[in-house]
Structure 1
Amino acid sequence: MVNIKSIWEAQKPTGDFIIKTRLENIAHLNCYACTNNITGQYLYIMSVAKNVVIPELKNYRFKGVEIFSFETDSSLELNIHLIDNELKDIFALFIQNIIEDITTTTSENEALTKTLNVIFKWKKLFDKISFSGMSLEYQKGLLGELIFINYLIDNNLPTDKILSAWTGPEQDDKDFRFGDIGVEIKLTSSKHPSLKITNEGQLDTQNVDKLYLILYLVENVKENGFSLNSLVFQISDKLHLDLDKLKFFNERLLLLGYLASDEQHYNTMYSIKQIYYYNINQDFPRIIKSQLPSGIYNTSYSIELSAVDEFKIEPHIITNSLN
């Protein structure tokens, strides 16, 4: 598979306003990695026949990216233009995703449809990126997921299995999917903790055979704790002997908005006070889609911990089911 970032980095000034390199690995399509010779900004261009219908995308923007169509004498061009150079790494992942999805297409129309699907998925991801770091809510969400990943690695679950199950960056309803087993992670530092459920899909078992929920109760400390940065370092260190897995892990962090330039925002230290493990079954108090009136969605709610004591399980039940 072509590495789009390496192509951009290898491009040299030619005297042209736009430096273009055709992506030869998808020979049935006219796709190009391009660089603006003046600004150094990356572009991706897909050229299609004039009879292919490109939806109205002129001046279509999301954070750091502009997308537009352009008509030449002989073709139509779909242009995806990076307008914020701080986002080069995540932009490269975005375009890489498009390339991987269109490689097996058989027509320009199919390739365009798949490209637009990727664009709309990634718009949601770009819109969550904060240039002053992730919000505290998102930090805690990622912190909980990394604690779980670290725990599974230490319990000798294969790292490729762990990383491929980590669906949080893909905006799945469940944070982890191990085949037909889902795991949802919660973390709170509240002095009056509860289970905060953000939508009706999180505890829905319709698409899984088993669903577990883990709640990490943490408190802020000044020393002898862990931070978001330290967990990233710990996991990276455990993956350092396998560069492919380390690259995959770093890409997932980017998808969640964890940027190296924002590391100074992620040094708050915590320690774990308590961990609760739950088995989610039909009797667990929850709101699911099938219970909601038509037209109501994205339902958030809180569950008192005292109401779910009977659903607690031992941690080995989860790890054993994942092996």
Structure 2
Amino acid sequence: MISMSELSDAWKEIIPQAGQSVGRRADKNHPLDFFITYDENRNMQMMLISEFLPTIPPSSQQISVRANFRHDGKYAVCFSLTDNSLQEQFVSLCWDIMHCTISTHSKASGVKAAVKRFCMWQKLFAEEKNKKLSDAEVKGLLGELCALRNVILMRYSPQTAVAGWIGPIGADRDFEFSDTWYEAKAVTLSKDIVTISSADQLDIGAEGTLLILRIEKVSQNTPGAFTLNSLADEVRNSVQDPEARIIFESRLSSSKYDPADPQADEPYFLHQIEYYRVNDDFPRIRRSNLPAAISNCTYSLSISGLQSWRQEQ
């Protein structure tokens, strides 16, 4: 598949023209028909050709979305960047959409997956840039980075590992791969409750793993202590592949991580990681079992009650 840097360069090779859309196919080997273009207003644009009209998400202040009917009976689904200050993030968005659909089994399912992934990114583009991480979000990011360092990078290549880290872009689960998924929850040593943040978080047919990471705030001189900044650097240094590094930095940015934030220098310690197999018998809420009037919910699981599903790693 085309690399992120090659995708960025593709736009640089196109000369925008006022009043008309110009561009080129993004990757001839991709199963879906993606095109890198500039729209009639000279905005960066990604176009996806579809044989059917998918559900089109609404436009935002940053990205315009529309679908045009073509003479060949197909539809051109167009995503145009209207905020030029977000060009780098837009390239990451487009590459991520292409990457998550590279192994699609059919064009129809691929188009639907592409639109779904775009909707995740669109929420991030609309968020305020100056919004700081809350204490809970700091703990959550620490948990995801520890999971990435201690579990995911031990099992997958750097590029696969960081590309599968999709929690920061609004996915229901923190890590998803072709063969399994992982959800990371950071809690203190004494806590017996883990909060599931939505009805959809564990509502998935494929088996996966709930990771419970026991993380405590400690003093600066505690042996083995780390900060959000030092942990990010540690993961960064283990991701040597240039393309994987770009993806990693994009995910950090999407997480609202700011190395200058005083919270990023507060010390923590990882005591242990617990692995719980989420299979058909695992206790969880299924959206199909909820009354239609319930649009969403959060719920808590007793960790001591999950011991039948605990695995040794």
Q: TM-score, normalised by structure 2?
A: 0.67
Partner of 2:38: 34
101 and 277 in structure 1: CA distance in 2 versus 1, 3 angstrom threshold: closer
- Alpha-carbon distance change, 290 to 205 in structure 1, aligned in 2, over 3 angstroms: same
Are 1:7 and 2:3 an aligned pair?
Answer: no
1:250 aligns with 2:249: yes
1:197 deviation in Å? 1.7
Contact 2:58–2:65 (CA<8 Å) still a contact in 1?
yes
Match of 1:300 in 2: 298
Letter of the 1:229 partner, please give it.
N
1:147 CA drift (Å): 1.0
Equivalent residue in structure 2 for 1:272, among 261, 269, 279: 269
Q: Aligned equivalents of 2:120 and 2:15: distance in 1?
A: 33
Identity %: 19
Q: Residues of 2 paired with 1:36 and 1:72: CA distance?
A: 16
Partner of 2:213: 215
Q: Do the aligned partners of residues 103 and 238 (structure 1) sit closer, same or farther apart at CA in structure 2, a change above 3 Å counting?
A: closer
For 1:203-242, list aligned pairs within 5 A.
Answer: 207-208=206-207, 211-219=209-217, 225-240=225-240, 242=241
Q: State the alpha-carbon separation in 1 of the partners of residues 131 and 302 from structure 2.
A: 31
Structure 2 unaligned blocks of 5 or more: none
Paired residues of 1:196 and 1:301 also in contact (CA < 8 A):
yes
C-alpha deviation, 1:83, in angstroms: 1.7
Give the Å deviation of 1:267.
2.1
**Post-superposition shift, 1:4?**
2.5
Cα distance, 1:217–1:41 mapped onto 2, change above 3 Å? same
Corresponding residue for 2:60? 62
CA contact (8 A) 1:278 1:311 kept: no
Deviations 1:37-85 (A, max 9, x none): 8xx742234679xxx775796x931362111246799997543211223
What is the CA–CA distance in structure 2 between the aligned matches of 1:123 and 1:277, rounded to whole Å? 32
Describe the superposition over 1:280-321 as per-residue Cα deviations: whole angstroms up to 9, x where unpaired.
57899943328944434643123455x44856968xx22xxx
Shift, 1:235, TM fit? 1.1
Q: 1:127: how far off?
A: 0.8
Shift of 1:144: 0.6
Is contact 2:21–2:39 with CA below 8 Å preserved after alignment? yes
- Is this contact kept in 2: 1:97–1:118, CA < 8 A? no
Distance 1:17 1:308 in 2: 63
| Most deviating of 197-206 and 80-89 | 197-206
The structural deviation recorded for 1:20 is 2.9
TM-score by length of 1: 0.66
Equivalent pairs, count: 298
Aligned twin of 2:146: 147
Larger radius of gyration: 1
Compute the RMSD of aligned alpha carbons: 4.9
Amino acid at match of 1:301: Y
After superposition, the Cα gap between the structure-2 partners of 1:285 and 1:244, relative to the gap in structure 1 and judged at 3 Å, is closer
Matches within 5 A, 1:135-214: 135-136=133-134, 137-152=136-151, 157=155, 159-160=157-158, 162-163=161-162, 166=165, 168=167, 173-176=172-175, 182-188=181-187, 194-200=193-199, 202=201, 207-208=206-207, 211-214=209-212
Q: CA deviation at 1:196?
A: 1.5
C-alpha distance 180-134 of structure 1, shift in aligned 2 (>3 A):
farther
